[in-house]
Amino acid sequence: MNRPHMLVIAAALGVAFSQTVLAAPAAELAGNPLATASSLPFHYPAFDKIKDEHFIPAFNEGMRQQLKEIEAIANNKAAPSFDNTVVAMEKSGALLTRVQTVFYNLQGANTNDKLDAIDSEMSPKLAAHSDAIFLNPKLWARVKSLYEKRESLKLDAESKHLLERYHTDFVRAGAQLSAADKEKLKAINGDIAKLQTAFTQNVLKETNASALVVDSRAELAGMSDAAIDAAAAAAKAKGMDGKFLVAVVNTSGQPPLAELTNRATREKLMALSLARGSRGGEFDSRELVLKIAKARAEKATLLGYANFAAYSLEDQTAHDTASVNKLLSELAKPAVNNARKEAADLQAVVDAEKGGFQIGAADWAYYTDKVRAQRFAFDENQLKPYFELDNVLINGVFYAANKLYGLTFKERKDLPVYNPDVRVFDVFDADGKQLAIFLADMYARSNKQGGAWMNEYISQSSLLGTHSVVANHLNIPKPPAGEPTLLTYDEVKTAFHEFGHALHGMFSNVKYPRFSGTSVPRDFVEYPSQVNEMWAVWPAVLSNYAKHYKTGAPMPKELLDKVIASKKFNQGFMTTEYLAASLLDQRWHQLTPAQIPTDVLGFEAQSLKDMGVDFAPVPPRYRTTYFSHSFSGGYSAGYYAYLWSEKLDADTVEWFKENGGLQRKNGDWFRAKLLSRGGTDDAMNLFRNFRGRDPVIEPLLDRRGLK
């Protein structure tokens, strides 16, 4: 995924990502490393100097400075011009951008109680700050007057698009509301910010609190000795000497379910996972869900939309709820049919073994691996020795980027990091010039949000003279000291995926920060990253990195063929769990305020049933009460975006194949037409310029076995 935590906020503010526009540091920021742009290469953050106590003063001063800048723009005696209004806004807020960027990246990747408390304190203040800009009537009057005469301003295409973008941002933020309604909206925005922050923090705490604890090694039979040792160490660290603790991850499915031979343990783990946020206690999220859904529905009503999804989708390439509902519901039936067929295959194994039970959610992964082993005569664990982390990253991910785009990478150890496991690379373009700095933060930690994401510390902009500093975050379990890090096939794909976002950030070649890199519609942003997954199994790339970590032997050809053949296997499950979550996300956000239910789990169950995805062995990828994508902000009413983007992705994969695959000419074309363009043009125009036509859906249906 792409978690532009900071980007979402900054884009909503219209804030520049500037590290170069220097305002004189205020006295209260004396000695604060956030006060001025970092003097490290590319303004890379001085992680060794930034302390938790530096954030609040920098946030407050950053907001104060930007409001001052905005007041000066709004009250300018000179008639509005593109430069004195729109460009001036793009340049405003340098300090706030700097502190937000570092803070939200660290809070996602390396949080603690102090940072969580700052987040809770700042999120309503930042919402109010955004409102103070977008609901400023004088500022709006200037933007509007420019917008109305935009054809006569002789603007270049990117500048004209920026003016239109600002106009849309103001309208969507409520600039046209009456003074009384603006006050109402401000109150709702403050509430939403507080509630979302509480939800995010709850989910992480509840996930940590839901770990599986067992008394004996036998209960963990099937897991590797190393993993069981790690579970013993994890229990000991929590003061439970002699027990075994297995952490849960944020999806419904849990990786150990594929390995655990003890059915009771599997069921216990699955139940812990599914109960998160709805089992009572300190971190129960049901009330928060209802309040967030209601507040968002009220906001949409106030702005004149039928519901929050309608408001949200209007600004996406999907455009409206009808088109999203259509895509999701058309795919739901064939996907569930495929999942039922897969379930029958799994049941046949259970029955042959005289298991005497019906296949359930807890059993799915375990028996899937068995069927996979029978059908393709291999199991996932045979792959892992060929997927050593360094090989995957350097000889796989980086290698593909070299063959396609001519990039080269050089690790450097002199820049400070916030955790010793984080690695830093200089990225050089084909002409030898440095393009960007890339951070790889690959390991799971209990203070790190779940899943995987990319974000930026510095965004490229020629207006501000900045270059990209981008980071990828994964959650790969860290092996005991001295052991190699061996990845699953899914983790390998994730590494390629996140690097696709990183390329989108690093190749950005735009003038305005508002359009930098991944500042594109949410249902478009997953497209370049998903395309990059194709190189993980591209023969020339695979053979370069998939080598046995001990012997260096290449992954045997037949194993490789099986990997590729098995790619379609279990698609029914994967598509169904994804669609179920996407449909839930839509259901919750297609309600009017009066339709918000009182019973979260009841509404969830009824929704899944109505939509025909209530197939118990395949629970939604996220249930409502731990669905951070949906209730924390980033992907609210937007979880469908992965599948929507996949239509473009699958069609683009076909284009690469038609044109000879892994070649510079292909990479350079994709970069020139799409990856370098950020949000400077309508997203679907960018696609058409690249592909030469509109996207077609057949490659997606084929890939997912939905024909």
Longest Cα–Cα distance of the chain, Å, equals 84
Give the Cα-Cα-Cα angle 616, 622, 625 (nearest 5 degrees): 105
Pick between residue 1 and residue 269 the one whose CB is nearest to Zn ion: 1
Least Å distance, CB 497 to Zn ion, is: 6
Asked if 475 is part of the footprint of Zn ion (rule: CB under 5 A), the reply reads: no
| Contact between 566 and 376 (Cβ < 8 Å) | yes
Token pair 């340098």 in the structure block, residue: 94
Which position among 460, 529, 628, 636 is part of the footprint of Zn ion (CB under 5 A)?
A: 529
Give the range of 1-9, 488-496, 561-569, 679-687 binding Zn ion by CB under 5 A. 1-9
Asked if 1 is part of the footprint of Zn ion (rule: CB under 5 A), the reply reads: yes
Pick between residue 1 and residue 15 the one whose CB is nearest to Zn ion: 1
Catalytic residues: 498
DSSP state of 233: H
Structure token digits, residue 478: 């860290």
Pick between residue 259 and residue 526 the one whose CB is nearest to Zn ion: 526
Pick between residue 191 and residue 526 the one whose CB is nearest to Zn ion: 526
Asked if 641 is part of the footprint of Zn ion (rule: CB under 5 A), the reply reads: no
Least Å distance, CB 451 to Zn ion, is: 9
Give the range of 22-30, 114-122, 251-259, 519-527 binding Zn ion by CB under 5 A. 519-527
State the alpha helices, DSSP H only, in 353-457: 364-376, 380-383, 389-390, 398-405
Structure token digits, residue 367: 């028996």
Least Å distance, CB 562 to Zn ion, is: 27
Pick between residue 6 and residue 608 the one whose CB is nearest to Zn ion: 6
Least Å distance, CB 87 to Zn ion, is: 31
**Cα 404 to chain centroid, rounded:** 24
Give the count of residues interacting with Zn ion (CB under 5 A).
4
| Contact between 228 and 220 (Cβ < 8 Å) | yes
Give the range of 76-84, 523-531, 596-604, 686-694 binding Zn ion by CB under 5 A. 523-531
Closest CA to 396 of 470, 487, 514, 504: 487
Least Å distance, CB 498 to Zn ion, is: 7
Asked if 307 is part of the footprint of Zn ion (rule: CB under 5 A), the reply reads: no
Least Å distance, CB 504 to Zn ion, is: 10
Asked if 628 is part of the footprint of Zn ion (rule: CB under 5 A), the reply reads: no
Closest CA to 312 of 585, 84, 62: 585
Asked if 520 is part of the footprint of Zn ion (rule: CB under 5 A), the reply reads: no
Structure token digits, residue 9: 């906020």
Q: How far is CA 303 from CA 74, 126, 135, 207, 311, in A?
A: 23, 20, 13, 35, 8
Give the range of 215-223, 526-534, 600-608, 668-676 binding Zn ion by CB under 5 A. 526-534
Asked if 449 is part of the footprint of Zn ion (rule: CB under 5 A), the reply reads: no
Structure token digits, residue 183: 């006050």
Pick between residue 55 and residue 507 the one whose CB is nearest to Zn ion: 507
Measured from each CB, the residue nearest to Zn ion is: 1
Pick between residue 1 and residue 653 the one whose CB is nearest to Zn ion: 1
| Contact between 223 and 468 (Cβ < 8 Å) | no
| Contact between 457 and 100 (Cβ < 8 Å) | no
Give the range of 2-10, 285-293, 294-302, 666-674 binding Zn ion by CB under 5 A. 2-10
Least Å distance, CB 697 to Zn ion, is: 20
Asked if 532 is part of the footprint of Zn ion (rule: CB under 5 A), the reply reads: no
Closest CA to 478 of 467, 491, 465, 459: 491
Pick between residue 251 and residue 529 the one whose CB is nearest to Zn ion: 529
Least Å distance, CB 629 to Zn ion, is: 11
Least Å distance, CB 453 to Zn ion, is: 7
Structure token digits, residue 538: 């591209």
Least Å distance, CB 537 to Zn ion, is: 18
Asked if 645 is part of the footprint of Zn ion (rule: CB under 5 A), the reply reads: no
For residue 33, give every residue at least 6 positions away whose Cβ sits within 8 Å of its Cβ, in sequence order, or none: 46, 49, 50, 54
Asked if 270 is part of the footprint of Zn ion (rule: CB under 5 A), the reply reads: no
Asked if 518 is part of the footprint of Zn ion (rule: CB under 5 A), the reply reads: no
Pick between residue 1 and residue 343 the one whose CB is nearest to Zn ion: 1
Closest CA to 243 of 232, 254, 251, 252: 232
C-alpha radius of gyration, the chain, whole number: 25
- Give the integer Cα–Cα distance in Å for 128 and 10: 13
Asked if 474 is part of the footprint of Zn ion (rule: CB under 5 A), the reply reads: no
Asked if 101 is part of the footprint of Zn ion (rule: CB under 5 A), the reply reads: no
- Give the integer Cα–Cα distance in Å for 533 and 523: 17
Give the range of 177-185, 317-325, 525-533, 604-612 binding Zn ion by CB under 5 A. 525-533
| Size of the chain, expressed as the number of residues it contains | 707
Which H or E run includes 473? strand 468-476
Dihedral of CA atoms 304, 309, 311, 312 in degrees, nearest 10, equals: 170
Residue 628 three-state SS:
helix
Give the range of 51-59, 168-176, 226-234, 528-536 binding Zn ion by CB under 5 A. 528-536
- Give the integer Cα–Cα distance in Å for 350 and 358: 8
Asked if 2 is part of the footprint of Zn ion (rule: CB under 5 A), the reply reads: yes
Pick between residue 295 and residue 454 the one whose CB is nearest to Zn ion: 454
Q: List residues near Zn ion by CB under 5 A.
A: 1-2, 526, 529
